[in-house]
Amino acid sequence: MTTNIQPNTNVVFSATDQSQQQARRRRNRLFLAMRYAVLIVLALLFLFPIVWSFLNSIKPPAEALAVPPTYLPTTIVLDNYMELTTFGRIGVVQHVGNSAFVALLTVVGTIVLSTLGGYGFARFEFRGKNIMFIMVLSTLMIPFQSILIPLFVMLSKVNLHNSLFGLALVYITFQLPFGIFLMRNSFLAVPKEIEESALLDGCTSLSVLYRMMLRLVLPGIVTVAIYAFINSWNEFLAALIFMTDQNNFTLPIFLTNVRSGLYGIIDWGALQAGVIVSIIPSLVIFLLLQRYYMNGLMGGAVKS
Protein backbone atom coordinates (compact mmCIF):
# COMPACT_ATOMS: atom_id res chain seq x y z
CA MET A 1 0.00 0.00 0.00
CA THR A 2 1.45 3.34 -1.05
CA THR A 3 0.64 6.73 0.32
CA ASN A 4 0.76 9.82 -1.90
CA ILE A 5 2.13 12.83 -0.05
CA GLN A 6 0.75 16.09 -1.46
CA PRO A 7 2.90 19.23 -1.04
CA ASN A 8 1.40 21.98 1.08
CA THR A 9 0.89 24.70 -1.51
CA ASN A 10 -0.24 27.17 1.12
CA VAL A 11 3.13 27.02 2.84
CA VAL A 12 4.95 27.41 -0.48
CA PHE A 13 2.85 30.41 -1.52
CA SER A 14 3.19 31.94 1.96
CA ALA A 15 6.97 31.70 1.85
CA THR A 16 7.01 33.14 -1.65
CA ASP A 17 4.77 36.06 -0.63
CA GLN A 18 6.95 36.79 2.38
CA SER A 19 10.11 36.84 0.28
CA GLN A 20 8.44 39.14 -2.26
CA GLN A 21 7.25 41.46 0.49
CA GLN A 22 10.72 41.57 2.01
CA ALA A 23 12.25 42.35 -1.38
CA ARG A 24 9.63 45.05 -1.91
CA ARG A 25 10.41 46.56 1.49
CA ARG A 26 14.12 46.58 0.70
CA ARG A 27 13.46 48.32 -2.61
CA ASN A 28 11.21 50.86 -0.89
CA ARG A 29 13.82 51.57 1.79
CA LEU A 30 16.52 51.93 -0.85
CA PHE A 31 14.34 54.26 -2.92
CA LEU A 32 13.47 56.31 0.19
CA ALA A 33 17.15 56.56 1.18
CA MET A 34 18.11 57.69 -2.33
CA ARG A 35 15.31 60.26 -2.37
CA TYR A 36 16.37 61.69 0.99
CA ALA A 37 19.99 61.76 -0.16
CA VAL A 38 19.05 63.77 -3.26
CA LEU A 39 16.89 66.15 -1.19
CA ILE A 40 19.70 66.66 1.33
CA VAL A 41 22.16 67.46 -1.45
CA LEU A 42 19.74 69.94 -3.02
CA ALA A 43 19.04 71.53 0.37
CA LEU A 44 22.76 71.95 1.00
CA LEU A 45 23.23 73.52 -2.44
CA PHE A 46 20.50 76.08 -1.70
CA LEU A 47 21.65 76.72 1.88
CA PHE A 48 25.35 77.11 1.08
CA PRO A 49 25.15 80.69 -0.31
CA ILE A 50 23.11 81.82 2.71
CA VAL A 51 25.46 80.16 5.20
CA TRP A 52 28.48 81.54 3.33
CA SER A 53 27.06 85.07 3.41
CA PHE A 54 26.29 84.78 7.12
CA LEU A 55 29.80 83.53 7.96
CA ASN A 56 31.35 86.37 5.96
CA SER A 57 29.10 88.90 7.66
CA ILE A 58 30.44 88.02 11.13
CA LYS A 59 34.10 88.04 10.11
CA PRO A 60 36.40 91.01 10.78
CA PRO A 61 36.54 93.29 7.70
CA ALA A 62 40.14 92.34 6.91
CA GLU A 63 39.34 88.64 7.12
CA ALA A 64 36.27 89.04 4.88
CA LEU A 65 38.57 90.48 2.18
CA ALA A 66 41.27 87.82 2.58
CA VAL A 67 42.47 85.92 -0.51
CA PRO A 68 42.21 82.95 -0.44
CA PRO A 69 39.10 83.21 1.72
CA THR A 70 38.74 81.51 5.07
CA TYR A 71 35.72 79.31 5.56
CA LEU A 72 35.12 79.88 9.27
CA PRO A 73 35.67 83.17 11.10
CA THR A 74 38.55 83.21 13.55
CA THR A 75 36.78 85.93 15.52
CA ILE A 76 33.06 86.66 15.57
CA VAL A 77 32.33 90.37 15.31
CA LEU A 78 29.37 92.53 14.34
CA ASP A 79 31.42 95.32 12.78
CA ASN A 80 29.92 94.72 9.35
CA TYR A 81 26.38 95.18 10.63
CA MET A 82 27.43 98.34 12.46
CA GLU A 83 29.00 99.56 9.23
CA LEU A 84 25.64 99.25 7.51
CA THR A 85 24.01 101.60 10.02
CA THR A 86 26.43 104.38 9.08
CA PHE A 87 27.02 103.60 5.41
CA GLY A 88 26.36 106.53 3.10
CA ARG A 89 24.35 109.49 4.28
CA ILE A 90 21.49 107.66 5.98
CA GLY A 91 22.36 104.07 6.82
CA VAL A 92 20.45 100.85 6.48
CA VAL A 93 17.75 101.45 9.11
CA GLN A 94 15.77 104.02 7.11
CA HIS A 95 16.04 101.98 3.93
CA VAL A 96 14.70 98.92 5.74
CA GLY A 97 11.86 101.11 6.99
CA ASN A 98 11.14 102.31 3.45
CA SER A 99 11.01 98.75 2.14
CA ALA A 100 8.83 97.63 5.05
CA PHE A 101 6.40 100.52 4.48
CA VAL A 102 6.09 99.80 0.75
CA ALA A 103 5.75 96.05 1.36
CA LEU A 104 3.06 96.58 4.02
CA LEU A 105 1.01 98.85 1.73
CA THR A 106 1.43 96.37 -1.12
CA VAL A 107 0.30 93.42 0.99
CA VAL A 108 -2.76 95.20 2.41
CA GLY A 109 -3.83 96.64 -0.95
CA THR A 110 -3.28 93.37 -2.79
CA ILE A 111 -5.22 91.34 -0.21
CA VAL A 112 -8.20 93.71 -0.19
CA LEU A 113 -8.50 94.12 -3.97
CA SER A 114 -7.70 90.48 -4.78
CA THR A 115 -10.26 89.24 -2.27
CA LEU A 116 -13.00 91.50 -3.61
CA GLY A 117 -12.11 90.77 -7.22
CA GLY A 118 -11.81 87.02 -6.70
CA TYR A 119 -15.12 86.92 -4.81
CA GLY A 120 -16.85 88.84 -7.57
CA PHE A 121 -15.57 86.55 -10.33
CA ALA A 122 -16.39 83.42 -8.30
CA ARG A 123 -19.88 84.24 -7.02
CA PHE A 124 -21.52 86.89 -9.22
CA GLU A 125 -22.87 86.46 -12.72
CA PHE A 126 -22.63 89.42 -15.09
CA ARG A 127 -22.24 89.97 -18.81
CA GLY A 128 -18.69 89.54 -20.08
CA LYS A 129 -17.39 87.99 -16.86
CA ASN A 130 -15.27 85.32 -18.53
CA ILE A 131 -13.87 87.76 -21.08
CA MET A 132 -12.99 90.21 -18.33
CA PHE A 133 -11.30 87.47 -16.31
CA ILE A 134 -9.25 86.43 -19.34
CA MET A 135 -8.23 90.06 -19.84
CA VAL A 136 -7.07 90.21 -16.21
CA LEU A 137 -4.98 87.07 -16.66
CA SER A 138 -3.60 88.27 -19.99
CA THR A 139 -1.83 91.13 -18.20
CA LEU A 140 0.51 88.50 -16.74
CA MET A 141 2.02 88.16 -20.21
CA ILE A 142 2.96 91.85 -20.40
CA PRO A 143 6.65 92.33 -19.53
CA PHE A 144 7.03 94.60 -16.55
CA GLN A 145 9.93 96.46 -18.13
CA SER A 146 7.94 97.36 -21.26
CA ILE A 147 5.58 99.74 -19.46
CA LEU A 148 7.96 101.36 -16.97
CA ILE A 149 8.30 104.52 -19.04
CA PRO A 150 4.51 105.06 -19.41
CA LEU A 151 4.14 104.37 -15.69
CA PHE A 152 6.85 106.90 -14.88
CA VAL A 153 5.15 109.56 -17.03
CA MET A 154 1.78 108.78 -15.45
CA LEU A 155 3.09 108.97 -11.88
CA SER A 156 5.01 112.15 -12.67
CA LYS A 157 1.81 113.90 -13.77
CA VAL A 158 0.20 113.17 -10.40
CA ASN A 159 3.40 113.86 -8.40
CA LEU A 160 3.83 110.26 -7.22
CA HIS A 161 7.02 109.40 -9.10
CA ASN A 162 9.22 109.94 -6.04
CA SER A 163 6.77 108.65 -3.45
CA LEU A 164 6.74 105.41 -1.51
CA PHE A 165 2.96 105.41 -1.80
CA GLY A 166 3.20 105.68 -5.60
CA LEU A 167 5.72 102.82 -5.66
CA ALA A 168 3.32 100.70 -3.61
CA LEU A 169 0.53 101.45 -6.10
CA VAL A 170 2.74 100.17 -8.92
CA TYR A 171 3.49 96.99 -6.98
CA ILE A 172 -0.18 96.42 -6.16
CA THR A 173 -1.08 96.77 -9.84
CA PHE A 174 1.30 94.01 -10.84
CA GLN A 175 0.35 91.67 -7.98
CA LEU A 176 -3.40 91.84 -8.69
CA PRO A 177 -3.69 89.44 -11.68
CA PHE A 178 -2.17 86.51 -9.80
CA GLY A 179 -3.96 87.50 -6.59
CA ILE A 180 -7.39 87.66 -8.26
CA PHE A 181 -6.76 84.36 -10.01
CA LEU A 182 -5.78 82.59 -6.80
CA MET A 183 -8.60 84.08 -4.70
CA ARG A 184 -11.19 83.24 -7.37
CA ASN A 185 -10.14 79.59 -7.27
CA SER A 186 -10.11 79.64 -3.48
CA PHE A 187 -13.71 80.88 -3.38
CA LEU A 188 -14.76 78.33 -6.02
CA ALA A 189 -13.41 75.57 -3.76
CA VAL A 190 -15.94 76.57 -1.05
CA PRO A 191 -19.41 74.96 -1.49
CA LYS A 192 -22.08 77.45 -2.47
CA GLU A 193 -24.54 75.91 0.00
CA ILE A 194 -22.67 77.49 2.91
CA GLU A 195 -23.10 80.94 1.43
CA GLU A 196 -26.67 80.38 0.25
CA SER A 197 -27.86 79.41 3.74
CA ALA A 198 -26.46 82.67 5.13
CA LEU A 199 -28.09 84.68 2.34
CA LEU A 200 -31.43 83.08 3.12
CA ASP A 201 -31.04 84.21 6.73
CA GLY A 202 -30.87 87.82 5.56
CA CYS A 203 -27.13 88.41 5.31
CA THR A 204 -25.77 90.56 2.49
CA SER A 205 -23.03 89.41 0.19
CA LEU A 206 -20.46 91.65 1.89
CA SER A 207 -21.44 90.44 5.36
CA VAL A 208 -21.18 86.82 4.18
CA LEU A 209 -17.74 87.58 2.74
CA TYR A 210 -16.57 89.25 5.94
CA ARG A 211 -18.18 86.95 8.52
CA MET A 212 -17.89 83.54 6.85
CA MET A 213 -15.89 83.34 3.67
CA LEU A 214 -12.68 85.01 4.79
CA ARG A 215 -11.88 82.34 7.34
CA LEU A 216 -12.64 79.61 4.82
CA VAL A 217 -10.21 81.04 2.23
CA LEU A 218 -7.53 82.01 4.76
CA PRO A 219 -4.84 79.83 3.09
CA GLY A 220 -5.43 81.67 -0.19
CA ILE A 221 -5.20 85.05 1.53
CA VAL A 222 -1.93 84.07 3.20
CA THR A 223 -0.55 82.85 -0.13
CA VAL A 224 -1.39 86.17 -1.80
CA ALA A 225 0.15 88.06 1.13
CA ILE A 226 3.43 86.11 0.99
CA TYR A 227 3.61 86.48 -2.79
CA ALA A 228 3.01 90.23 -2.59
CA PHE A 229 5.45 90.75 0.28
CA ILE A 230 8.35 88.85 -1.25
CA ASN A 231 7.96 90.50 -4.65
CA SER A 232 7.68 94.02 -3.25
CA TRP A 233 10.44 93.53 -0.67
CA ASN A 234 12.96 92.30 -3.24
CA GLU A 235 11.93 94.44 -6.25
CA PHE A 236 14.73 96.60 -7.63
CA LEU A 237 14.08 97.99 -11.12
CA ALA A 238 10.89 99.98 -10.51
CA ALA A 239 12.26 101.39 -7.25
CA LEU A 240 15.43 102.44 -9.03
CA ILE A 241 13.51 104.26 -11.77
CA PHE A 242 10.75 105.89 -9.71
CA MET A 243 12.80 106.87 -6.65
CA THR A 244 15.10 109.85 -7.23
CA ASP A 245 15.48 111.00 -3.63
CA GLN A 246 18.02 109.04 -1.61
CA ASN A 247 15.81 109.31 1.46
CA ASN A 248 13.19 107.21 -0.33
CA PHE A 249 15.53 104.47 -1.54
CA THR A 250 14.45 100.94 -0.67
CA LEU A 251 16.76 98.25 0.66
CA PRO A 252 17.70 96.68 -2.73
CA ILE A 253 18.88 100.07 -4.02
CA PHE A 254 20.85 100.65 -0.83
CA LEU A 255 22.56 97.28 -1.23
CA THR A 256 23.50 98.25 -4.78
CA ASN A 257 25.24 101.32 -3.38
CA VAL A 258 27.06 99.10 -0.90
CA ARG A 259 28.06 96.86 -3.80
CA SER A 260 29.43 99.87 -5.69
CA GLY A 261 31.52 100.83 -2.67
CA LEU A 262 33.00 104.12 -1.59
CA TYR A 263 35.79 105.45 -3.80
CA GLY A 264 35.77 102.16 -5.71
CA ILE A 265 36.49 100.05 -2.62
CA ILE A 266 33.90 97.33 -1.97
CA ASP A 267 33.33 96.32 1.62
CA TRP A 268 32.44 92.67 1.11
CA GLY A 269 31.73 92.07 4.78
CA ALA A 270 29.18 94.89 4.90
CA LEU A 271 27.66 93.70 1.62
CA GLN A 272 27.19 90.17 2.98
CA ALA A 273 25.67 91.62 6.15
CA GLY A 274 23.22 93.56 3.99
CA VAL A 275 22.30 90.37 2.15
CA ILE A 276 21.48 88.68 5.45
CA VAL A 277 19.39 91.66 6.55
CA SER A 278 17.40 91.50 3.31
CA ILE A 279 16.83 87.74 3.61
CA ILE A 280 15.63 87.59 7.22
CA PRO A 281 12.10 89.11 6.82
CA SER A 282 11.12 86.94 3.85
CA LEU A 283 12.57 83.83 5.46
CA VAL A 284 10.82 84.39 8.79
CA ILE A 285 7.45 85.16 7.20
CA PHE A 286 7.62 82.11 4.96
CA LEU A 287 8.62 79.77 7.79
CA LEU A 288 5.79 81.05 10.00
CA LEU A 289 3.13 80.84 7.30
CA GLN A 290 4.35 78.00 5.08
CA ARG A 291 1.52 75.68 6.16
CA TYR A 292 -1.09 78.16 4.96
CA TYR A 293 1.00 78.90 1.88
CA MET A 294 1.06 75.27 0.72
CA ASN A 295 -2.64 74.83 1.47
CA GLY A 296 -3.40 78.00 -0.48
CA LEU A 297 -1.53 76.81 -3.55
CA MET A 298 -3.16 73.38 -3.40
CA GLY A 299 -6.61 74.85 -2.76
CA GLY A 300 -6.23 77.27 -5.66
CA ALA A 301 -5.52 74.35 -7.98
CA VAL A 302 -8.69 72.42 -7.12
CA LYS A 303 -10.97 74.36 -9.46
CA SER A 304 -10.31 76.73 -12.30
Q: What is the pLDDT of residues 177-215, one digit of tens each?
A: 999 999 999 888 888 887 777 777 777 878 888 888 888
* CA quadruple 172, 176, 179, 181: dihedral, nearest 10: 180
Q: What is the pLDDT of residues 125-151, one digit of tens each?
A: 888 888 999 999 898 888 888 888 888
Q: How far apart are CA 107 and CA 282, in angstroms?
A: 13
Average pLDDT of the chain to the nearest whole number: 84
Least confident segment among 8-12, 118-122, 191-195, 216-220:
8-12
Least confident segment among 87-101, 107-121, 229-243:
87-101
Residue 109 banded pLDDT, cuts 50, 70, 90: very high
CB 193 within 8 A of CB 137: no
Residue 259, pLDDT > 90, answer: no
Q: How far apart are CA 166 and CA 172, in angstroms?
A: 10
SS3 262: strand
* CA quadruple 25, 30, 32, 38: dihedral, nearest 10: -170
Residue 42, pLDDT > 90, answer: yes
Residue 117, pLDDT > 50, answer: yes
From residue 255, give the alpha-carbon distance in Å to each of 91, 152, 167, 252, 270. 11, 23, 18, 5, 9
